[in-house]
A and B are shown apart, each in its own frame.
Chain A
């Protein structure tokens, strides 16, 4: 099964691994959130300590869930858009195995304290090499598929995906170059070039590419404007990469580098507005479809969160706003709005649509899928509001001159609500895992396929 040559088997394997990693990553995140409320929960067990769980959580959700879900969907979308089989299914299946192995090893390393200590680049060198090899081989696979394509013109999703598979291996390499030792602040500059571009040149580009495929596909209407979508792609390509320094905007790094980061961060409003205009104009007159199209609902909720996070982002990077909210809980709230709100919702929608098509089986239960939507959606709002308000409260206290350790007590209610919202999302995704497992096992679906047409395979195949 792992080395099978069957069409779409790689996509299926990537999606299933992603969902398992999602639950692992979310469990770690939930544990970390509970430890804010009950700090003695770790009871002197090193592997349970917050500071070791946090990097493991980040790596599990970023490289386990989001990256693998994105890759799984790309491996489904690229062949359908090029009308050409994936260049090597067997190779992609092998990479899925390597990647899973790397992540298990990486998670064990991080929990046991073998960390490189740079945010987002914690994985030790041997695992970095495995991940990089996986990325490059996937790039090779995707690029060759596109070169052998049967369709002459490239749809905008393919632009985004080809871009992501070109940028990401380079960004990952730069971020994890431990053989070049850099002095303190230079190390920080390169670290944040990587830390921000892994979001910009990988998660954003793949996420938006998936949404560009899903919205026209799920509504059955053509994309509103192809030239606008191209504008969005090129502005992301030009504006995203130099923005990393806004993470260390008030540290003593060179002033020109900060100015560059701020200007380009603000310029990112342009791709966001073009992308969202395109999404919502495509939806014009089709909003009724949300009623019985759950994947579409997921993708559009993702677009809503994408709007929120991407309007926050540019303003957060300006000097005045950064002055106030830097170092506070607002920032992880923003990060979760992007990765959990926007891109995870794109991927959930994508998986509900793609899984029946790659396995040829209808999604096991619509009710579970709807429960998954509502638990995640409502949980996310509680979670996000707790983060954001906690951030504002935190900064208010500091700037009124109250010391950090004294003010910490004021934040307890927000931490409780955050764990609560996180718990709701975690529960929703347990349902999701169960649903995916039942679907893949081929248990007889509970609902009639006509109820949710998007979540059943096309009639010819069934």
Chain B
């Protein structure tokens, strides 16, 4: 063989070996979540039901991971919750609803009727009928579906009770007024928050356009009234009824303090909003809201103007 091809051959081998090591072997060595209190150890019946779930290919329409922004699918599952889930049924498409927390939402008989003919219970559904399952198979499958997120629902509570927040403040080790913490927080912000709140915190991230209840614009003056604990509590608990996730479930306490340090540095002496805001009819504030998100999305930083005091007719925001 020509010697000229030995080096390229070696490089292909080495690079693919390195990639396989970092993305296949390494995660399995250093990422070993232990079973959390929400992980379900299946009984024999439920395990058989899970096999039927896999066999019938439910995963091709139903995902089993609700994401941070999917607040309407119930509590967020964490790494430790998936320990007994082999083969994985995470799923990649949501033609039907997410089933992470489906268990205990409906009685068994509802599930059986629904599996036999989905359209009798959810009109307009496009789920195929699974009436060909034998009665005992059906029972096993339903027993499995009822375990999904069951423990999570029962043990679910807010991350912090208001009284606990004082304790959190006592054991805080991060100096939230320091620039080091703020810089650490900026990275966390850009990675997790910027997609909705925008890179400058104006509530104009690329996905703001999609959300019915718009993400907060941190330049608004009333955020001056937020103290450290309020910021920390808001970041940790999220905002129920919106897409704001409970970051307390995803970020460590230290990371959230860094984030608070960054949020405190954002300017809010005057509210920043896009050009042309004054000309919008203040009576139609719902439309104003829509327009502003779309405009904020397309607006270049140079076009953003600052004024003193609140903009005309902007009283309806939240």
A residues at B contact (CB < 8 Å): 35-36, 39-40, 42-46, 49-52, 54-55, 113-119, 147, 152, 154, 163, 166-167, 170, 174, 181-191, 193, 234, 237-238, 241-242, 244-245, 247-248, 250-255, 257, 260, 319-321, 323-324, 326-329, 331-332, 394-396, 398-401, 403-406, 408-409, 415
- Chain B residues, CB < 8 A from A190: 24, 28
Q: Is the CB of A245 within 8 A of B59?
A: no
**Known interface pairs A323-B69, A327-B92; A260-B195 also in contact (CB < 8 Å):** no
Q: Is the CB of B83 within 8 A of A184?
A: yes
Q: Is the CB of A185 within 8 A of B88?
A: yes
7 cross-chain pairs, A with B, having the tightest CB-CB distances, nearest first: A184-B82, A51-B57, A184-B85, A117-B54, A327-B94, A188-B88, A241-B19
- Chain A residues, CB < 8 A from B57: 49, 51-52, 54-55, 115, 117
**Known interface pairs A186-B28, A186-B31, A404-B96; A51-B5 also in contact (CB < 8 Å):** no
Instruction: Write the chain A residue with the least CB distance to B13.
Output: A166
Query: How far is the CB of B136 from the nearest CB of chain A, in Å?
Result: 16
Tell me the total A-B contact number using a CB cutoff of 8 A: 222
Interface of A is mostly: helix
- Chain A residues, CB < 8 A from B20: 170, 174, 241
Give Cα A39 to B122, complex, Å. 13
Question: 21 interchain pairs (CB within 8 A)?
Answer: A45-B132, A49-B128, A117-B55, A167-B16, A174-B24, A185-B90, A250-B68, A254-B30, A320-B205, A323-B195, A324-B207, A324-B210, A332-B93, A398-B94, A399-B212, A400-B211, A404-B96, A404-B98, A405-B96, A408-B96, A415-B126
Q: Is the CB of B60 within 8 A of A54?
A: yes
- Chain A residues, CB < 8 A from B306: none
Q: Is the CB of B89 within 8 A of A245?
A: no
Q: Which of B72-80, B161-169, B262-270, B310-318 lies on the face that meets chain A?
A: B72-80
B65 at the binding interface (Cβ < 8 Å): yes
Instruction: Write the chain B residue with the least CB distance to A56.
Output: B57
- Chain A residues, CB < 8 A from B153: none
- Chain B residues, CB < 8 A from A119: 59-60, 92
Instruction: Write the chain A residue with the least CB distance to B84.
Output: A184
Give Cα A188 to B63, complex, Å. 13
**Known interface pairs A174-B24, A193-B24; A116-B126 also in contact (CB < 8 Å):** no
- Chain A residues, CB < 8 A from B56: 49, 51-52, 113
Q: Is the CB of A40 within 8 A of B86?
A: no
Interface contacts beyond A51-B128, A189-B24, A241-B23: sample of 12 additional A-B pairs, CB < 8 Å, sorted by A: A44-B131, A51-B58, A51-B61, A55-B57, A163-B12, A187-B85, A187-B87, A248-B90, A321-B206, A398-B94, A399-B212, A408-B124
B48 at the binding interface (Cβ < 8 Å): no
A247 partner, pick from B60, B67, B89, B92, beta carbons under 8 A: B92
Q: Mark B88-123, 1 if CB is under 8 A from A, else 0.
A: 111011111110000000000000000000110010
For B11, B22, B24, B32, the residue with the greatest tally of chain A CB atoms inside 10 Å of its CB is: B24
A320 partner, pick from B1, B59, B195, beta carbons under 8 A: B195
For B24, B88, B98, B194, the residue with the greatest tally of chain A CB atoms inside 10 Å of its CB is: B88
Query: How far is the CB of B78 from the nearest CB of chain A, in Å?
Result: 5
B276 at the binding interface (Cβ < 8 Å): no
Give Cα A154 to B210, complex, Å. 50
- Chain A residues, CB < 8 A from B5: 154
B window 9-47: CB within 8 A of A: 11-12, 15-16, 19-20, 22-24, 27-28, 30-33
Query: How far is the CB of A183 from the nearest CB of chain B, in Å?
Result: 5
Query: How far is the CB of B162 from the nearest CB of chain A, in Å?
Result: 27
Query: How far is the CB of A337 from the nearest CB of chain B, in Å?
Result: 16
- Chain A residues, CB < 8 A from B58: 51
A55 partner, pick from B60, B90, B195, beta carbons under 8 A: B60
B234 at the binding interface (Cβ < 8 Å): no
Instruction: Write the chain A residue with the least CB distance to B206.
Output: A320
Q: Mark B203-247, 1 if CB is under 8 A from A, else 0.
A: 001110011100000000000000000000000000000010000
- Chain A residues, CB < 8 A from B28: 182, 186, 189-190
B83 partner, pick from A44, A152, A183, A399, beta carbons under 8 A: A183
Query: How far is the CB of A237 from the nearest CB of chain B, in Å?
Result: 6
Q: Is the CB of B59 within 8 A of A117?
A: yes
Q: Is the CB of B124 within 8 A of A409?
A: yes
B97 partner, pick from A167, A321, A405, beta carbons under 8 A: A405
B residues at A contact (CB < 8 Å): 1-2, 5, 11-12, 15-16, 19-20, 22-24, 27-28, 30-33, 54-61, 63, 65, 67-70, 72, 77-79, 82-90, 92-98, 118-119, 122, 124-132, 191, 194-195, 205-207, 210-212, 243, 250
B128 partner, pick from A35, A166, A242, A395, beta carbons under 8 A: A35
Instruction: Write the chain B residue with the least CB distance to A41.
Output: B128
Give Cα A294 to B43, complex, Å. 60
Q: Is the CB of B87 within 8 A of A251?
A: no
Q: Is the CB of B210 within 8 A of A396?
A: yes
Q: Is the CB of A50 within 8 A of B27?
A: no
A115 partner, pick from B2, B54, B98, beta carbons under 8 A: B54
B27 partner, pick from A39, A114, A167, A254, beta carbons under 8 A: A254
- Chain A residues, CB < 8 A from B82: 183-185, 188, 252
Instruction: Write the chain A residue with the least CB distance to B27.
Output: A189
Instruction: Write the chain A residue with the least CB distance to B196.
Output: A323
Q: Is the CB of A185 within 8 A of B126?
A: no
Query: How far is the CB of B216 from the nearest CB of chain A, in Å?
Result: 16
Query: How far is the CB of A392 from the nearest CB of chain B, in Å?
Result: 9
- Chain B residues, CB < 8 A from A51: 56-58, 60-61, 128
A327 partner, pick from B60, B93, B207, beta carbons under 8 A: B93
- Chain A residues, CB < 8 A from B194: 320
Give Cα A150 to B313, complex, Å. 80
A42 partner, pick from B78, B97, B129, beta carbons under 8 A: B129
**Known interface pairs A187-B85, A396-B210; A39-B16 also in contact (CB < 8 Å):** no
**Known interface pairs A51-B58, A183-B82, A404-B97; A242-B129 also in contact (CB < 8 Å):** no
